[in-house]
Amino acid sequence: MLHNFGSGPAKLHKSVYDQLAQSLIDYEQTGLSILEVYHRTTLFEAILEEATQLCKELYQLDASKEVLFMPNGATWHFNLIAQNFIHTKAAYIHSGNWSKKAYDIALEYGKADIVASSENNHFKSIPVIEQDLSAYDYLHITSNNTDVGTQFHSYPNGSIPLIADMSSDIFSKPIDSNAFACIYAGAQKNIGIAGASLVIIDKDFLSKTHKHIPNYYQYNQWVNNKSIMNTPPIFAIYAMLVNMRWMKAMGGLEHMHIQAKEKAKLLYHTLDNSHLFEVYARKEDRSLMNVCFSMKETSLHNSFMHFAKEAGIIQIEGYRTVGGFRVSLYNAIELASVQHLCDVIAAFDHIPR
């Protein structure tokens, strides 16, 4: 049996795979594959409507929020956020590789500043803001940092709009959606498969969209066209819908959060009590989604990688600029798989050397 702890594209639950597989052959007993469903039909309208309503239900969104299902991943939104909403200058919190990419892209469209950074401790913690942000158009954060294994467990409060890239912890816990002007996420971790993205955006914030950029890049135009500005990634959106059905059936985001804490607690406890491994992130900022760690003796890295692979554990390589190991604990990862990994870590720890 394989235990896939990949950071994305990530594992989905088997029941989701089963339904997706059936839809490829015969979608809802229509005789059509989901791959040939036309986007201007009631078939796709029903998919989009149910997906929108499920997202609103899972996050308890009120009438002030719009939900969009868009093509591409989060990197596209690095561009769109800056294009749409930088009028004077934007503020970015630098907590790892992806926050830096978002910031660098923002500079292509206007002025932006890094207002807090944890680069000085190699991103082992979440940065703290210590300055007035009232002169900025918005504050951008990366809520979970897959490369270093840190996560915001509370969010910055302030008078300016808060925007979050939640690609790697979307749908992993309940949040106060009213704290955010915009949330966006690539689908391939906790939502579905690669090729689509989710946006939750405040209607009032939409009014601040630049009007001089092409229509295709304006979020309000995507709202006006109900997420259909061109042929959408229908199968990817359907995968998001099926996965949201599964999350709801499992007990919603409260249940996902309980499971996430249980899985992370088990793995962190094992690593903290190991003689050979050490966790990368500071304890109070450790991610519930991505556990990053390394060998105290780097010469044992390849030996453990082989040992884990022999035990059916795959895709635990660390991010390429960080090294070590990275175990992703997204919603579909079962506690039994985490327990198996912990047993393998303990066994390797006790091999006589």
SS (H, E, C) the chain: CCEECCCCCCCCCHHHHHHHHHHHHCHHHCCCCHHHCCCCCHHHHHHHHHHHHHHHHHHCCCCCEEEEEEECCHHHHHHHHHHHHCCCEEEEEECCHHHHHHHHHHCCCCEEEEEEECHHHCCCCCCCCCCCCCCCCCEEEECEECCCCEECCCCCCCCCCEEEECCCCCCCCCCCHHHCCEEEEECCCCCCCCCEEEEEEEHHHHCCCCCCCCHHHCHHHHHHCCCCCCCCCHHHHHHHHHHHHHHHHHCHHHHHHHHHHHHHHHHHHHHHCCCCEEECCCHHHECCCEEEEEECCHHHHHHHHHHHHHCCEECCECCCCCCCEEEECCCCCCHHHHHHHHHHHHHHHCCCC
Nearest residue to 38 via CA among 239, 222, 234: 234
From first to last of the 353 residues of the chain, give the pLDDT tens digit: 899 999 999 999 999 999 999 999 999 999 999 999 999 999 999 999 999 999 999 999 999 999 999 999 999 999 999 999 999 999 999 999 999 999 999 999 999 999 999 999 999 999 999 999 999 999 999 999 999 999 999 999 888 999 999 999 999 999 999 999 999 999 999 999 999 999 999 999 999 999 899 999 999 999 999 999 999 999 999 999 999 999 999 999 999 999 999 999 999 999 999 999 999 999 999 999 999 999 999 999 999 999 999 999 999 999 988 999 999 999 999 999 999 999 999 999 999 87
Give residue 353's pLDDT.
77
Distance CA 161, CA 158 (A): 8
Distance CA 315, CA 2 (A): 10
CB burial string 261-291: b at 16+ within 10 A, e below = eebbebbbebbeebebbebbbeeebbbbbbb
The full set of domains in the chain, from first to last, is 14-250 (3.40.640.10), 252-349 (3.90.1150.10)
Q: Which residues are catalytic?
A: 98, 165, 189
Give residue 308's pLDDT.
98
Distance CA 193, CA 323 (A): 25
| Model confidence, pTM | 0.97
Cβ-contact 156, 130 below 8 angstroms:
no
Give residue 352's pLDDT.
86
Cβ-contact 317, 301 below 8 angstroms:
no
Tokens linked to 111:
């002025």
Give residue 321's pLDDT.
87
Distance CA 244, CA 190 (A): 10
CB proximity list for 189: less than 8 A, separation 6 or greater? 7, 8, 9, 10, 167, 168, 170, 289, 328, 330
